[in-house]
Structure 1
């Protein structure tokens, strides 16, 4: 493979390639060679942009976390529109149809990545799912302020429960993602006691 060819947006190209490998083959198959082969570039390209492979993976995870900011803003803006159950069903589907489930497996699989993420993140918790739970809690808080969630609802616990249930629904990559009705049914069950009577 030629090494003198300039690759536009090499960082994003490498991140996208890593996601494809991770989703298709799992965390054990995610190597620098697998990423550069998937991206169609020389192995040295990755090492020109990142000091080592764990630095690359750390930046990948942090980049995917930052991408959730736009989704969080959209979900919060949806407060007061549609139905709470419908909004949460859509949000969980978007979170877990992305690379989120695979990132959890990757972080669990790689000790050095966990160490680096702990140093880079102030929030603690499991990357991506912690941010997703915060996004859901902020949305539920906004709905509570509008009276569409009970005033005494524990939004942090509801959010964590929704994320846990969503993760379980989407974690089985072998049989494909759950259908919308299954996600909706789960959301309905989890928040039933928090809806105003």
Structure 2
């Protein structure tokens, strides 16, 4: 591999290369060598920018989790409009898209990475699921405030059902995402009893 290849914004290019490797080869295939080969640079480039590979992975996960914040704000902006179950079903499609679904097992099976994520962000052990939980909880609370969910609806229980169950729905359909009809049926079943009449 040539050592003179210059990367502009090396960190971001390495993150993008890692994402491609993760989607193509899964968590087991994500090594520092695979990342630098994919980025077309020497292995030393990664270590010039990050203390070690777990530090790189921590920043990768936090970077990709931050991207979910945009989807979270889009979901919150939909409160009061459209169909509650439809809004949630569409949001789950993004929150559990290919990249988040590839990152979750990466974090799950790397103890050192989970520990670093917890240090970097409170509750950050499984950062992607924490982002999804926060987005859905905030949306449900706003819909309840607007009267589209019943006053007695248990937002915490609904959130856990949507995040935990939603994750299982996506895992069960991997490697392809579930159809929109499958996601909508699942979400409708979870929230039906909480919708205001």
Question: Considering the TM-score relative to the shorter chain, is it more than 0.5?
Answer: yes
Tell me what 1:115 maps to: 115
| Structure 2 unaligned blocks of 5 or more | none
Query: TM-score normalized by structure 2?
Result: 0.94
Tell me what 1:17 maps to: 17
Tell me what 2:192 maps to: 192
What secondary structure, in the 3-state scheme, does the structure 2 residue paired with 1:99 have?
A: helix
Tell me what 2:158 maps to: 158
Q: CA RMSD in A?
A: 1.4
CA 14–175 in structure 1, closer or farther in 2 if over 3 Å, else same: closer
Distance 2:66 2:39 in 1: 22
Q: 1:125 Cα deviation (Å)? A: 5.0
Distance 1:173 1:184 in 2: 14
| Structure 1 unaligned blocks of 5 or more | none
Aligned length: 197
Contact preservation (8 Å) 2:5, 2:40: no
What secondary structure, in the 3-state scheme, does the structure 1 residue paired with 2:82 have?
A: coil
Tell me what 1:80 maps to: 80
Distance 1:183 1:130 in 2: 20
Q: 1:3 Cα deviation (Å)? A: 1.8
Q: 1:12 Cα deviation (Å)? A: 1.3
Tell me what 1:67 maps to: 67
CA 125–191 in structure 1, closer or farther in 2 if over 3 Å, else same: farther
Query: TM-score normalized by structure 1?
Result: 0.94
What secondary structure, in the 3-state scheme, does the structure 1 residue paired with 2:142 have?
A: helix
Q: For 1:132-147, list aligned pairs within 5 A.
A: 132-147=132-147
